[in-house]
Structure 1
Amino acid sequence: MNTREKIIQVGDELIRNRGYNAFSFSDISKELKIKNASIHYYFPTKSMLVISIIQKHELILEKFKMSVSAGSSMEKMTKFLSVYAAGRFNNKISILGALTNDYYTFEAPIQTELKILMENTLNWLTDTLKEGKTGGEFHYSMDHRTKALMIITNILGAEQLARITFKHDFQEIKATLLADLTK
């Protein structure tokens, strides 16, 4: 892993653990034992670093979608929610959960990248729900996009709440979201 990739990785971890406004280039330089100037060489601004982090998550989402494409709708949903659960296991929250709270404080380019990631996530989730309902695997009464929005808001909210409640609360919410699809 080169220095640029290490900076992105540490920045990502700091955002997902502390939040956007609770870390600086100084935190990254201490972690990597490099000078702030080295970070500025790759990312002249914090905004440019955050955009690169979001773009990394866009690539992760695309790889995820490809890796689950052959599975059933329930397998896709289970794996999707398991990604969030894995993050909670490591005391992190998703990049969407970490950055959404600060959305209105971001410059337009960060807002645009975050919208792209959210729309790509929402579109995949909507398509997966539609596929599952059409195939008789899922049962719900609202339209597909609304159901996708309900799942996303539940999981992002559960990430936040699980920081201050019991860790098993997140797992219970995840299990309930999956069970609700088959009732």
Structure 2
Amino acid sequence: MKTRDKIIVVGDNLIREKGYNAFSFSDISKELKIKNASIHYHFPTKTNLVIAVIQKHLILLEKFKTAVVNENAIMKIIKFLSVYSIAKSGGKISILGSLANDYNTFDPEVQTELKILTESTINWLTQTLTEGKKEGTFKFIQDPRTKALTIITTILGAEQLSRITYPHTFQTVKENILNDLKQEI
């Protein structure tokens, strides 16, 4: 793996473990055993680094969408929520959950990239919920976009709250999301 890619991976991990404002290039240089100048060569500013991290997650989202395209709606949602579970089990939270906290501190370029990632996620979830409603798998009464926003808000909140409460809090909320989608009106 190239140095630039290693920096993105470590930056991503630090953002999702500690938060954007809680780490510095020095933390990355210590972990990778390189000089700060090497990081600045690839990413002159922290803004440049966080944009690269967000773009990495956009690519991962596209790969995820491609991987589940032939699944039914319920399986798509199960796999989608599993992405959050995997991050949580690794002591991290999602990139959306982490960066949303610091949104007002970002340069406009970062805010724009984060909005693109967020909208892409919400749009995919909305399409999947619409598909599940047409299949008869999902029984919710809200507009699919409103339901998508509710699910995203719930899962991001559960990530944060389970840091304070208990690890099983997140799992309980995740299971409730799935049960709620299938519940009769």
TM-score after normalising by structure 2: 0.98
Structure 1's consecutive aligned runs of 4 or more residues displaced over 4 angstroms after TM superposition are: none
- Mapped to 1, the partners of 2:155 and 2:114 lie a distance apart of 17
Q: Deviations over 1:118-141 (max 9, x none)?
A: 000000000000000011010011
Q: Secondary structure at 2:17's aligned position in 1?
A: helix
Identity of matched residues, %: 64
- Is the counterpart of residue 57 in structure 1 residue 57 in structure 2? yes
Once the two structures are superposed, the pairs formed by residues 40-119 of structure 1 within 5 Å of their partners are: 40-119=40-119
Q: Which residue of structure 1 aligns with residue 30 of structure 2?
A: 30
Distance apart, 1:107 and its partner CA: 0.4
| Counterpart residue number, 2:126 | 126
Distance (Å, rounded) in 1 between the aligned partners of 2:123 and 2:117: 10
- Paired AA for residue 48 in structure 1: N
Q: What SS does the aligned partner of 1:44 have?
A: coil
CA distance in 1 between counterparts of 2:152 and 2:16 reads 17
Unaligned runs of 5+ in 1: none
Does the residue aligned with 1:163 lie in a helix, a strand or coil? helix
Gaps of 5+ in 2: none
Equivalent-residue separation in structure 2 for 1:5 and 1:17 (angstroms)? 18
Q: 1:153 — aligned with what? A: 153
- Alpha-carbon distance in 1 for matches of 2:179, 2:67: 23
Deviations 1:5-63 (A, max 9, x none): 00000000000000000000000000000000000000000000000000000000000
Q: TM-score, normalised on structure 1?
A: 0.99
CA RMSD of aligned residues (A): 0.4
How many residues are aligned here?
Answer: 183
Shift in Å, 1:164: 1.0
**C-alpha distance in 2 between matches for 1:21 and 1:77:** 31
In structure 2, distance between residues paired with 1:38 and 1:102: 26
